[in-house]
Amino acid sequence: MASPVALSATSAPQAAPVVTGLPDFTDLVDKVGPAVVNIRTTEKAQQSQGEMGADDQQMQEFFQRFFGMPMPKQAPAPRGRKQVPQQQEEIPRGVGSGFIISQDGFVLTNAHVVDGASDIYVKLTDKREFKAKVIGIDKRTDVALIKIEGSKLPKATIGDSDKIRAGEWVIAIGSPFELDNTVTAGIISAKARDTGEYLPLIQTDVAVNPGNSGGPLINMRGEVIGINSQIYSRSGGYMGISFAVPIDEAMRVADQLKTSGKVTRGRIGVQIGEVSKDVAESIGLSKAEGALVVHIEAGSPAEKAGIQDGDVILKFNGQPISKSSDLPRIVGAIKPGSKAVVTIWRKGALRELGVSIAEIEAEKTAQKADKKGKKDQANVLGVYASELSDAQKKDFPGGGVVIETVDGAAAAAGLLPGDVILTLNNVDVKDVKQFSAMVAKLDGKKAVALLVRRGNLSQFILVKSQAQ
């Protein structure tokens, strides 16, 4: 029998290092704090006879609280007596935050802090107050550039939001609930959180409340890496999730606002949706990626380039499109008038198309389709289809059929009367006769991928056919 072997001290598992303390933010606050400003905005409101001023509002509250009734209204002026002219009264509108990015007084903040304000007042930590003017506002990114008249002002150091990491410590400085120079701390929860906005936001657990908007998010090197912009809340107050605009994008916007007062972005004229796993499998993609084209604006660069409803854009100018929200940011960063190459997936094959970039503008609304034509008999999908009307044939030169009524599998899949079926399993649908012939050959055990136009949007809908 083998003798037991003694374990040496060195062979024991090493204990993980223990965190013995928390970071000290005092030096960061001393460094960045003087460049953070409080922003107070006002607006001018017309006050005519009968409208309540501040004193009247206090009296109204007095009557309501102690007598349980509203204050009696003033009687209107007798006929023939001169009316009191309307007066413009400057009333408080809101409070936010910002930070100075140049010694001559350029200040970054959120667009929603200053948009619509009559006057903007900027107060520094040394109690100096300046009246500011708006240089430019970009609502898509919620970034605004304003200017105060000064020299040798304290300025913030700008960092690189591309280099941030989830889990690193950050602090916010701002004026929540009008409490100037409030410092809160936390960590970065996610680097690029899609929230439905134009660009991905930095998610943190730093306490951010009304009044923090526009203030800086600061890393442990004392660099600004974001602009605190939004909170997720069911109560209106902080609930552990806040969002900041990445400083890299904010500075690109600020440069354009400083130069021209507006931001110019590229567009190609498509509406897009996500590619689900089921859709990817049904159209032959190896994984769910790219941006699904659901609508093409008439006369747009996309239409001229030959992009079609149902195409999946996988790359734009060589840049991969992992999810649909990547596309507008990539296209938006390209200068209007430039040329680009679009890589698409169409009917089981890759294609490359050249497209010219236009300047972004309001989207046009497509007209609603007419619903007339010869009906088809019920098919195994549970679809009653009809031919396109003359008007629809102009909108769909490649053909299609109109759904009149649905039941069974089609109804369960979400198909609706008025939907136009454009393709079936990646094959163009020309007319009712051809559609019926294709449906008759379907395997009742396999899902069917239909490209459907609904209103002005196109989408893939998966239907599990029912054998009869």
Tokens representing 467 are 């054998």
User: 420: which strand partners?
Assistant: 402, 453
Among residues 97, 161, 175, 213, the one annotated as catalytic is: 213
138, 142, 326, 419: the active-site residue: 142
Which distant-in-sequence residues (6+ apart) come within 8 Å of 28 by Cβ? 171, 218, 220, 222
**342, 246, 363, 235: which is closest to 290 by C-alpha?**
342
Going from the C-alpha of 294 to that of each of 39, 246, 354, the distances in angstroms are: 42, 29, 19
Helices (H), 261-389: 277-283, 301-305, 326-332
Is 126 tagged catalytic? Answer: no
Provide the token pair at 463.
């239907």
Q: Measured between alpha carbons, how far is 177 from 236 in angstroms, rounded to an integer?
A: 12
| 142 is known as an active-site residue | yes
Six token digits for residue 313:
């854009």
Nearest Cα to Cα of residue 456 among 295, 346, 327: 295
| C-beta separation of 79 from 158 below 8 A | no
Q: Is residue 231 a contact partner of residue 209, using CB atoms and an 8 Å limit?
A: yes
Q: Is residue 142 annotated as involved in ligand binding?
A: yes
Alpha helices in 265-357 (DSSP H): 277-283, 301-305, 326-332
Q: 94: which strand partners? A: 41
98 annotated binding-site participant: no
Task: Map residue 397 onto helix, strand or coil.
Answer: coil
- Is 295 annotated to bind a ligand? Reply is no
How many CB atoms are located within 10 Å of the residue 350 CB? Answer: 11
Catalytic residue among 112, 205, 233, 407: 112
* Catalytic (active site) residue 112: yes
Distance CA 283, CA 305 (A): 22
> What are the residue numbers of the active site?
112, 142, 213
Query: Which residues participate in the annotated binding site for substrate?
Result: 112, 142, 211-213
Query: Which residues participate in the annotated binding site?
Result: 112, 142, 211-213
